[in-house]
Structure 1
Amino acid sequence: MISVRRILVTFTIVLLIVSNSVTALGYNPFTPGSGEGGFSGSGPGSGLSIDNADFFLTGKKTGAQLRSNIDFTDIRGHWARDYVFRMAAQSVVRGYGSSRYSPEGSVSRQEALAMLVRIMGREGEVQRRTAAGGTPPAGSGIFDLWAREYIAMAQETGIVDIGEGGNWQQSATRQEVAVWFARALRLTPVYGAEQQYLYNLRDWQGISVPNQPLVEAILREDIMRGDDRGYFNPDSGLRRSEIAVMLDKVADRFYNLRGLVARSGQVVQRGTLDGVPALGLRNTDGSYSVISLSDGTDFPVLRNGVTGLADSLQVGDWVDYVSDEEGVLYALVPQGGAADAAPAPMEGYMRSVDPASGRLYVTDYDGNVHTYRYDDSTGVTINSRPAGINDLRFGLEVTLAVRGDLVAEVEGSYYAGQPGYIPPSGRVRTGRVASIGSSSLVLDLDSGGREEFTISYGTMITKEGVSVSVGSIRAGDRAQVYTDSIASNTASRINIEGMQQLIQDVYRGILEAVHPSGGTLVLKDASVFVNGDWEDRGRRVTLELEPGAQIYYSGRAVAPGEVQSGYLNATAYVAVSSNFGNQRAVRVLLKRGSEQLYGGRIDAISWGTGEIELKDRNNIMLNNSSIILSGGRMVDISALDEDHTVTVVADRYGGINNAAVVMLEDVQLTGDGIFVGRLNEIRTREFDINYYSELDQNEWDRISSRSRNLTLEYDRDTYIIEVTGSGTKILKAEDFFQGDYADRRTSKSTRDYYAFVVADGDRARTIRITEGSVTRNGSTIENDDLEQIRVTTGEVEGLDTVLGILTINKASNWSSFYRQWERADSDNYVNYGGALILRDGRPIDARELRRGESVYVIRDDSRGIIILAQ
C-alpha cells in the first residue's frame, strides 16, 4: 500500500455539476467523456484531487476467481451469510466444491484446526513444509493427508497438546473448539469463584473440569455462548456456520500478523484512472482511498445478498472492505448500506450531537440510546424548514431516515402554534435526576442548569416501556420530563432510561491512546474495582467516549486532543456504561498523585468546600471530576449525607486526599414498606398481621404485641406464594382467603402461618407465606430470629438456574452492630428458590435478572427471602 501522492501527482479530478445532484462530499461525481468518474480529464474541478488521496489500492489478480470460489449457493438467505463471506474471502474457510459451503454441516476436528492455523497467518508455512516433505504430527491419530501439516502446526503453536491424537476426521465438539480458540488467542484461564459465565449455563457440569477455565475465558470474550435455553451442549458437534461466526469475531486480532487492514467508507466516485476502471471512497475516519482495477485486477463484493465484483458497487454505497499489501481482498455492503436501499425510519428524541466524531445520539420512545453517523449529505429540516445539524437541540422530537448507520435525513418538530401553547406533553427536558421526592423531581439538564418539576397524581412514569411508580426513580437516573405548558413545571410524563444508563464498572488502567475523531480511548493493563479492591483483567480495553463525557486532570477538564498530545501513559479511572453491548466511558479522571483507599461512615460534610470527613477522621475532597456512584448511577455530592457508608479511592497530592472514585453503599429503596408478621385474620379484600415488624433503615424494628394488628389490603393482582419444604406454590387471591392461613389464637405457635409482605402504602404488592417460623431454623417469630436475617446489596454477576444460586459481586452487608454497610471481600451466593423477586414493584422470574443489575437482598443465611432488582 503506497500513497497516491507519490505516484499520481499529475492527475486531477474533473467534476461537472449536473442535475443539481450532490454526494456525501457536496459535489457531483459524474464527468462527461470519462465515464461515471472524474478521475481523468482536464478542466475545472471541485477542489478535490487524487493528490489529496490517502491510500492507493488495487484489486487482486485472482479476484474474479476468488469470487467464483466463494459464491456459495447454499448460504443465500442464511443467517450466517455475511460471516461465511468474510471468512471465505479471507481464505480462512473453504467450500466443498459445486458452490457448496454446507453451513448446517458439522465441522470436523481437522477442519477446525486448519481454519485456526489459517486465521493465525500460518498457512503459508504449512504449505512450504508440505512441499518439502513435511513432518507428521506427534502421537497417533486418524486424519486425511491434506490435514497432516495443519495438525502438526496446531501442536507446535500450542492449540492442541503435543501427542494429542484420536480421530481427527470426526466432528469437533463445542467444548474442544472453545479450548482451541482460547489457546490460539492466548487467553488467560479463569479459575475458582471467577467462573461466573460458566455457571450461567444450565449444563456447565457437562464441561470437563480441565476445560472449564478456558471455556469461561471464551464465554467472557463473547466468542461462544449458550443457546436460547441456556445450554452450552459441550459434547455436541459445531456447525460450519457457527465456526464461521467465531472466526469472524476474532479475525481482527490477527490482522497485524496477516498484514490485513480493515476500513469502512462510502463510494463517492466511479470512473477511470489513466484509462483503467477505478473507485473513490471516503472512509469513516475522514481519509480518502482510490482503488484502481489495473491489469485486470478485481475483488469480490457482497451487495444485496448477491456476490459480484467491483463493478457492482454504486456511488452512494456504504462498504466494509479489507486489503493486504497486494490489494483489496473483498468488500461487503452491509444491510441497508446500498445506495438504492430504502432508508429505515427511526423515531425518538435528540440527546446530543458530537461534531468531533460526526455522530448523533437519539433516545427512542422506550428510553434506549442509539448512535448514528452523519456527514455533509445529511439533510435536516425542522418544522418543514431547512436547518442544519447544529440546530438539533436536546429533546427535539425527530424522525430519522437511516441507511446502514448513516443518517440520510432528519425531520425535527418543535411546537410553534399559538404563543404559550404546546400540545399535551409537548415540552421536554432531558438530564440526570439530581434528587427525587414523592411529589417533586430535580433534574440536572443536559443543556446546563438545574430545574425542578412537580409530580402529580396524573403524572405517567415509564421505564423501559413499562409503567412504574415514583419510587422506581433514583438519584442519578437519566430522565426525560414532559410538560403540557411552557408556563408550568408540572410533569405530565416522565421517561426513565433503563439498564444502558447504569455504570457497569469502574476501570483503572494506563491510558495508551485517545482518538478524538473516532471518539474512543484505549486502556492497557486494565483492572476493575470489585468487592472493595482492584481485580486485574490483564488486557487492553477500547472504550467509546459517551457524548459529553469529560476527561479530568487535577480537577480541570482536558480536551481529548490535549490528552493525546500530553497525558498518555497516565493512570486513568474510568466510569463505564454498557449500551447495546458497547462499553462507553462516561467520565475519565487522570491520576496525578498516589492512590489511597478509604472506607467508612461519613461523619460530616462541608457543602461549601466539598469536603467530607469520615468517622476515622480521614478527610476527602470532592469536586466535579469525582466519580460518585450510587446503585450503579452517577450522582453528585448532593446525594451524600452524614452517616452514609462510602468506599473511596483517593488521588493524594499536595497533602490532600482528592476523591477519584466514591462508592455510596447505602441503597435507595423503592419507597415500598417491607413487613413480616403472623397472619392473624384474612378477609375478602384485606388481612391482619400481628407480632409484626417493619424493615427500617436496613434493620427490623421490635415486633409488636399480639393485640396490635397491621391491616393491609390485597387484590387479584397481589402476587402470593407459599413456601414449604417441598417447594413453592403460587396462590390466587381466593385461595389465600379460603385457605387455612390465619387462626385467631391467643398466642403465636409453630402451627401458625407467617408472612413477609412488600406493600405500596396499605396495599400488599406481594406476600410470602411460611408455616411455623419466619426463619428456617427459628421458632414462630422472635426478635432474635429477625436479627439473624441479613441484608445484602450488590450487582448480579451470574445465575445458576440448575442449582438455583444467584451470584452477587460488589457486595456489601449491613452490620447492625456498627450500623453501617461493610464491603464484602468476595462474591456472595444466595439461593433464590422461594424468594420474592421484584423489579419496579412487579414480581419477576429469577431468569429475568440481568447481569450488572443492582439488587437489594433480604436473606436468611444463604436463603433468599426478598430480592429487589433496582
Structure 2
Amino acid sequence: MRRLGVFLLAAILFFSPIKSALAASTTGAVYYGFEGYKLLLNSVKFNDKIPAWSYRDAVRVTALSLLKGVGDGKFHPEEKISREEAIAIALRLAGKEADAQKMLDQKTAEYYTNMIDSSEWAVGYLFTAANEGYIIPGDIYTEEWKSKASREEFAAYIGRALGYTPAYGMDQQLAYSFDDSSLFNRDYIPFIEPVLKDGIMVGNSRGTFNPKGMITRGQVAVILGRILDKYPEKFGITKMKATVTGIIHNSTDYIMRADDGSSFTISTDDRRGIVVLNNSSVTDGLKISQNVDIYMKGNTPYLIEVLGNEKVSKSIQNGEVISADKGTVNIRSDAGERSYRITPYTNITLDGKRVSEDELMPGQYVSFTEEYGDIVELAINGEVENPGYSEPGRFYYSGSVVEIDSGHILIRDDSGNTNSLPIPSYVSVNVKPGDLVKAYLNNDGTVSSIEKVEDNMEYAYLYRGRLSSVVGNKLQLDDAQRFDNFRWSDTPSLRLAVSREGQIYDDNMPGSDVQSYIGDYVYVITRMEYGEEMAYRIVVENGHMKEYVDDIDSVDKVAGRFTLPDTDVYIGDGSVILKDGKMVTIDSLERDQTVLTLLDRMGSSNVAPLVMVLDSQPAVRIVWGRIDHINSTTFEADKMYELNGNDWKRVSDLGELYISDDTYIIDRLGDATVISPEEFLNDRYERHPVYENEYFYAAMDGDEVIGMVIFGNDNSDDIRFVTARFDSMSKNSLANLTDMLEYSSFTDKWAPGPSKGYVWTQDALVIKNGRISSMDDIKNGTQLYILLDDSLNGLLIVCGEE
C-alpha cells in the first residue's frame, strides 16, 4: 500500500505542470494585464505623505487617470487646484476629453492671438466647456483660469458633468440649510443642490459649506472616489467583485471566481501586469482567497483593490484526520473521506495558535474551511480526550466576538482570521462584541454552545495629563483628568502600574521607552488585570491631536475607515476601539453612534489612535410592550419595543417570550409584589387574565425572560432611561449616583444630568451579568442602566462594567 502511495505521489508530481498549464483553459475568459503597469505602479507609489483619509482615493483616481499627476512622483494632496484643472476634471467625467483634445488643435492660434489667461493644455477644455454650457463663452478671454477654483465652482461643474437635473425653487433645500448659504453664487445653486443630495460633496460639522474656500487635490480625490463608487460607468470603467481561487504559471496567472459563480483568468508576465491596492500600500501581486474589486477599462484590468480577508462561499466542516502528507491531508467528515490540498496560504492553527502542516497527525479532530479543493483554514483541537472519536460539541473555535447578527456569530481568532458560525435558535447567546469566547461546534458546523472566557481583560478608564515621572513599572500623571460619561473630570495626581502588554504610540507608530516621553502630554487607556487597574495603551500628544465628540455618518468596514461630519477617520494597526468595556474592532462601529475620536490632523496619518463609543447600552436586551395572551410557558407581546442604541425600536417579529422557573417577576400594578412564574402563567386549570393587556419591561436572554416588571398602562409615559455610576448606598435603599446621563429623544443625544443624583431601589429589578441580583452585589463605580419613574423609583437596574 505504501509503494502504491509513493507511485501515485510521483505521478502527481510528474504531471502537475501539465495540470497547471491546462487550468487556465478551463476557467472561462482570459484578461491580460496592463502593458504599462510598471509606469502606473510607480506613479501611485507616491513619494510624499498622503493623509490616510484620502490615500485610497488618491491611488484609485491616479491609477485610473481620473486626476492627473504633476509629474514629480508626488500627489501633493494639500495643493489647491486651479479653475482650468477643475474644468478639465469635469469634462473628463462627462466623457468630453476627446472633444477637448480636438478643440486644442483648432484653437491654438486663437490662444496666442487673444492671450487667454490659461495654460496652453487647457485651451481646448475651455472652449469645449463654453460649447457645453459650463462657462459663458466671453469669459474665456476675461477670466483668470490659472487662479484657484472655489468649492462652489467645482461643485457646479461636477453637477453639470454628472447630468443631474438642475434644482430650482422649493427643490433648493440643502444648499440653503448651511449657515453660510448667503455666500453662494446663486447661478451655481441649481447644479450644487443635486450634488449635495447625492452625497458627492458635503459640508462640515459647523454647519457651513465654505463656498468661497479653495479645494485641494486630496479633497478632489475623495469626491471623485465617491463618484467612482456610485457611477463607475461615467469614467468608462467596469467594476466587478471576485475572489482569487488559484495561482498558476509560476505565480503570474490568477484564477478568479466572480460573484455570479463564473471563473476567469487574469494573466500577467514581465510586460503585462496588474496594480494592486491593498489597504495602505500598492503592489503587483495577489494571494489566494483575497476578495477584490477589479476596475476594468474594456477588457484590461487597470487596478485591483483588495477588500479584506473574509472568504466567500465558505462552509466550516468538522472531521477526523486519516492521514497527512506534504501538501495533502485526508479527512473523514459527514461528507465522507476526501483528500484536500494544503497550500502555502493555508492557515493551520492548534488551539488557536498558528502551526505548520507538520503538526497534522492521524486521529486529530479538526475544523476546516475548504474552497475548490484547497484547505483555506484548518484548526486542530488538541484537547479532545479520544482523538479518534469525533464527539459533537467537543471541538471549539476560540477568539474575539466581532458581530452577532441574523443567526450567526462572527469570531476573529489570534491570527486575525474571521469565521462566521451559524447559531441555531435554541442556543442561548449572552455575549457581545469584544468578548473572548469559545464557540463549541456540532458536527454540522453549527454552534452547540458559547462559553465566555472569564479572564478577558476589560478596559477601565481613559486619562489624559502630563507624564511627570516613570519609576520602575509605574508612571505618574500630573494635572490628570479622567473621561467618564461624555466629560473630562479632574482627578488627583495619578500613579499607575504599566501592564506587561502595555504599548506606547507616538504619531501612530509604536514607541520604545516610556521614560523618553517624560514631560509630554499623554492619553492613557487603562484596563483591569485580575483586579488591578493598569496602563495598557499610552498615546503621546504630538501638538496636532484633536478630540472629536460626534455622531458617525458612515462606516466602511472593508477599507477600515468611518466618517464624521467634519472628517474621515482611518483605523490602523495601533488603533484602539473601546465599546461597552471591551476592546472591539471596526465591525462594531455603526452609523449614528456617538464616539470620542482622538485624531492626529497633521502629516499623512489621520489614523485614530483611540475611538471610544459613547452610546449607553446595557449588556442584555431590554424590551417593553403590552402583555397579550398568556400561555402555559410563554406569553405573546403586543406593541413591543427594544432598546437599540439610544432609542426604542419597534420589534416587527414579536414571537413568544419564554418564562422559565428562574424568571423573576415584579407586579407593580399596586404595591410592588414579587410573584412566581406559576402565578403569572396560565395552565389548563387556572388562568390569570388580570395581567393580560398590562404593560411590562423585561431583561431578556434571547427569547427567554430573565426578569420582568409589570406596571399599569396609564403610567408608561412617565418612565425614563438613564445611565450613571453607582457611588454609595444610603439608608432606606437610596442609591447615590454620579455622572448621570439622561437620553433626550428630542435632541437624540445623551445629556449630562446633575453631578450627583439618586434613585430608590427597594422595589427595583436588578440584573448583573445577565442574572437576577441585588444592589448589595454592586460595587462602587459600576456603570448602571436604570429605568425609573418620575418619583425616582427604580423599576429595572442593569449592571454594566465594574
TM normalised by structure 1 equals 0.42
TM normalised by structure 2 equals 0.45
